[in-house]
Amino acid sequence: MRYAHEVDKVRAAEAALLARLPEGTLMQRAAAGLAAVCASLLPRVYGADVVLLVGGGDNGGDALYAGERLARRGARVVAVPAGSRTHPAGLAALLAAGGRLGDAAEIDTADLVIDGLTGIGGGGALREPYAALARRANETPGLVVACDVPSGVDANSGRVEGEAVRADVTVTFGTHKPGLFIDPGAARCGVVELVDIGLGPELPDPDVTVTGPDDVDPPLPGPESDKYRRGVVGIVAGGEQFTGAAVLSTGGAVHGGAGMVRFVSVAPAVAVVRRRWPEAVTTVIEPGDAAGLAAAGRVQAWVVGPGLGTGDAAAALVAAALGTDVPVLVDADGLTVLARHRDLLPGRTAPTVLTPHAGELARLLDADRADIEARRLEHVRRAAAELRATVLLKGSTTLIAAAGRPVRVNPTGTSWLATAGTGDVLSGLIGALLAGGMAALDAAAAGAYLHGMAARLAADGAPLAAGDVIGALPAAFRTLAGT
Ligand SMILES: NC(=O)C1=CN([C@@H]2O[C@H](COP(=O)(O)OP(=O)(O)OC[C@H]3O[C@@H](n4cnc5c(N)ncnc54)[C@H](O)[C@@H]3O)[C@@H](O)[C@H]2O)[C@@H](O)CC1
Ligand SMILES: Nc1ncnc2c1ncn2[C@@H]1O[C@H](COP(=O)(O)OP(=O)(O)O)[C@@H](O)[C@H]1O
Ligand SMILES: [K+]
């Protein structure tokens, strides 16, 4: 499993390790790793034109020492300083190896540019002349390799406030940084290579982990299975007018491995769901009939909210689901209801999973949507703590938080998912996994992974409809070992 640590933890681990090692050892390890990756990217090191963008801190030092190593192998290495200070020992080493100082115009003809402007010490929008150098590097036809973090990307959050380097490869040291996994920063990194500088033993538990295929372990049927033991998921969705979300959520559950799907709603929604998913067992209720939920029969998890509406009738159904002692996933309109009735959350003994997009989370936290999108990690953590739930924040990077646990980052998915209805599919899918007995955080992470995988398989570079994601769920399950 790939994981990341925030900057303060990286610095503390580095300090502990530095205390036991001769001065400069870590920077040499970092530079050696960076130079090796650069060399592997060049058809030939000898005679290659390499430009170093050198900021005023140790990130620039890394770039200079990597440049020294490439110069010793015959590369023509030019350092372009951006700061008022340039790592003195690094610069001396580069010059001694045959490198030289140059100006920004040399970026345009470089075979490879090493971005050593800012690393974990960067903060806020890049100032001039850093920003101009980053902009120029983004226009060069040569390869761009970011040292530790693409400059302009906030290492902790992935936030990009102004100009930021767009790297082909990012070579990061010791451990990943969360901002390398979270958009918009993640999209600036290209391929991320981790260089081991011996930090491992000094590092505490990670702040963030990336779900890998081995971490996705949906419940599988065995010889003893029957439909009830595999898990019954109840879905409360749709209304008099809106029926599409109900169909999509039910489809996510049917193909998500539920033993049975119980669908509970008003007559028009039930009629449409029955036509599309004869597999679902349906119960017709009057609007807001909370008692109808209990009468629908026993379930191991509820999904409540897609297309439900946001009025009193919807609120009664959300309250009824949350009043049960089984895991409950609240999505879409259910979240809008919750934002007005936060009193429904405390006091639950069974797990609650909330699956907001940034707008829904903004309502739940009384926060600004743009701020949530810029600092997704911080907000998803805050939501999990304040709402005492497992919170899955949807969007270009899906993050999943539960109090006291590393935040899970979902690596699958595609921007083709940004189309109406795909979130409804996700709610049913995670509901099925919850009903199958998965813990809330694992179910949410597995659901996000399979949903994103299904979308990639279905889209394959072309527009996607939410129904296509349902259709590709079986193929997504098959990508996992052991299914
Ligand atoms: N601490 C260590 O032991 C190690 C550090 N390493 C490297 O050191 C880096 C951290 O070095 P530093 O702490 O010196 O910090 P950085 O080099 O990342 O950044 C600090 C410099 O950037 C400038 N800066 C920050 N934000 C800016 C902005 N928005 N616009 C323009 N300039 C800005 C600062 O004025 C300062 O000159 C890591 O990312 C890594 O590359 C590695 O060599 C491994 C070992
Ligand atoms: N730019 C994007 N890149 C990748 N995935 C995205 C992007 N935008 C949205 N998604 C995903 O698409 C789905 C949309 O869900 P949601 O916003 O609830 O839509 P709806 O309510 O219409 O179903 C979520 O899984 C979300 O993570
Ligand atoms: K950098």
Structural domains in the chain, sorted by start = 2-209 (3.40.50.10260), 213-478 (3.40.1190.20)
Rounded to an integer, the average pLDDT of 130-135 is 98
By percentage, how much of the chain surpasses pLDDT 70?
Answer: 99
What is the pLDDT at residue 452? 98
**pLDDT band, residue 483 (cuts 50/70/90):** low
- The amino acid sitting at 35 is A
What is the pLDDT at residue 229? 82
Rounded to an integer, the average pLDDT of 329-355 is 95
| 422 known member of a binding site | no
**Residue-averaged pLDDT of the chain:** 96
- Residue of 93, 104, 97 lying closest to 64 (CA atoms): 93
Rounded to an integer, the average pLDDT of 217-235 is 87
**pLDDT band, residue 222 (cuts 50/70/90):** confident
Ligand 2 probe mutation, 394, 412, 450, most atoms within 8 A of CB: 394
Distance 418 CA to ligand 2 centre (A): 5
By percentage, how much of the chain surpasses pLDDT 90?
Answer: 93
Q: For residue 378, how far is the Cα from the chain centroid?
A: 13
Q: Which atom of ligand 2 is nearest to the CA of 357?
A: 17
Q: Do 312 and 320 meet the contact criterion of CB atoms below 8 Å apart?
A: no
Q: Which residues have CB under 8 Å from 210's CB, separation 6+?
A: 1, 2, 3, 4, 181, 408, 409, 410, 411
What is the pLDDT at residue 228? 77
Ligand 1 probe mutation, 59, 68, 115, most atoms within 8 A of CB: 59
Residue 1 has pLDDT above 90, yes or no: no
| 156 known member of a binding site | no
Q: Do 162 and 184 meet the contact criterion of CB atoms below 8 Å apart?
A: no
Residue 346 has pLDDT above 90, yes or no: no
What is the pLDDT at residue 347? 85
Diameter over CA atoms, the chain: 82
Distance 182 CA to ligand 1 centre (A): 20
Q: Which atom of ligand 2 is nearest to the CA of 415?
A: 3
Residue 132 has pLDDT above 60, yes or no: yes
| 423 known member of a binding site | yes
What is the pLDDT at residue 482? 60
* Range in 21-25, 191-195, 282-286, 362-366 with the lowest mean pLDDT: 21-25
Q: Which residues have CB under 8 Å from 43's CB, separation 6+?
A: none
Rounded to an integer, the average pLDDT of 354-359 is 98
**pLDDT band, residue 204 (cuts 50/70/90):** very high
**pLDDT band, residue 366 (cuts 50/70/90):** very high
Nearest bound ligand to the CA of residue 184: 2
Q: Which atom of ligand 1 is nearest to the CA of 60?
A: 17
Rounded to an integer, the average pLDDT of 1-6 is 95
Q: Which residues pair with 393 in a beta bridge?
A: 399
**pLDDT band, residue 83 (cuts 50/70/90):** confident
Distance 367 CA to ligand 2 centre (A): 20
Q: Do 434 and 443 meet the contact criterion of CB atoms below 8 Å apart?
A: yes
| 58 known member of a binding site | yes
Q: Which residues line ligand 1 (CB under 6 A)?
A: 14, 18, 26-27, 30, 55-60, 62, 83, 118-127, 130, 147-148, 173, 197
Rounded to an integer, the average pLDDT of 460-476 is 96
Distance 11 CA to ligand 2 centre (A): 35
ipTM metric: 0.94
